[in-house]
């Protein structure tokens, strides 16, 4: 669009010339594709309040004081308790994982009879290893997720204040738009 030359300026006093690409600047070059912009005359019915459509919170802001943090302040003792709790949850998960991962090989190695057991020539443990263990991991992962999230919710929203509790997990729900 404009064939002028711009000059690059940085604070450290280096000035270098910059030639502009001939196919014009991105802002102006993309113009034809643009959607009609909102007009001051008020013909923008389909997009009345774009800011708030994205937020799953209905509109609780109106009644709130201007500065609400997401939750109540947390004391150091409560924080330590949360860390302990989370560690407990994580360790329990870890115990399950270790039990399975350590238990299965031990069972198969120390009791060869189990390893050889089979139906019609197909050793029974083959399908167990291929199909059986992965669902356990999925279940354990979901259990861990639920417990950890609940622990956090209970910390940050101890009171029955639903309004604040509803906001904590408000990031995108699982699922791809």
Q: Which is nearer to another protein, 138 or 160 (CB)?
A: 138
DSSP single-letter state for residue 35 = P
User: Which pair of tokens denotes residue 24?
Assistant: 């014009």
Could you tell me which residues come within 8 angstroms of residue 118 by beta carbon, excluding any fewer than 6 positions away?
124
Least distance from another protein to the Cβ atom of residue 23, Å: 13
Least distance from another protein to the Cβ atom of residue 87, Å: 6
Question: CA 82 to CA 160: how far, in whole Å?
Answer: 19
Least distance from another protein to the Cβ atom of residue 159, Å: 15
Question: CA 65 to CA 42: how far, in whole Å?
Answer: 30
Question: CA 70 to CA 77: how far, in whole Å?
Answer: 19
Q: Which is nearer to another protein, 14 or 162 (CB)?
A: 14
Least distance from another protein to the Cβ atom of residue 160, Å: 18
Q: Which is nearer to another protein, 12 or 160 (CB)?
A: 12
Q: Which is nearer to another protein, 7 or 159 (CB)?
A: 7
């Amino acid at each position: 669009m404009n064939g002028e030359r711009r000059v690059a300026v940085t604070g450290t006093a280096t000035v270098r010339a910059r030639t502009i690409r001939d196919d014009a600047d991105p802002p102006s070059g993309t113009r034809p594709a643009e959607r009609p912009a909102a007009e001051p005359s008020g013909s923008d019915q389909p997009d009345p309040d774009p800011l708030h459509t994205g937020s799953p919170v209905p509109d609780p802001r109106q009644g709130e004081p201007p500065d609400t943090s997401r939750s109540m302040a947390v004391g150091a003792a409560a924080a330590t308790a949360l860390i302990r709790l989370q560690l407990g949850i994580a360790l329990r998960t870890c115990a399950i994982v270790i039990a399975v991962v350590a238990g299965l090989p031990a069972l198969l190695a120390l009791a060869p009879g189990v390893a050889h057991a089979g139906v019609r020539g197909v050793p029974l443990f083959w399908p167990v290893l291929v199909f059986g263990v992965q669902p356990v991991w999925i279940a354990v992962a979901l259990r861990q997720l639920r417990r950890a999230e609940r622990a956090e919710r209970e910390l940050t929203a101890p009171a029955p204040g639903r309004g604040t509790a509803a906001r904590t997990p408000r990031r995108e729900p699982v699922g791809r738009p």
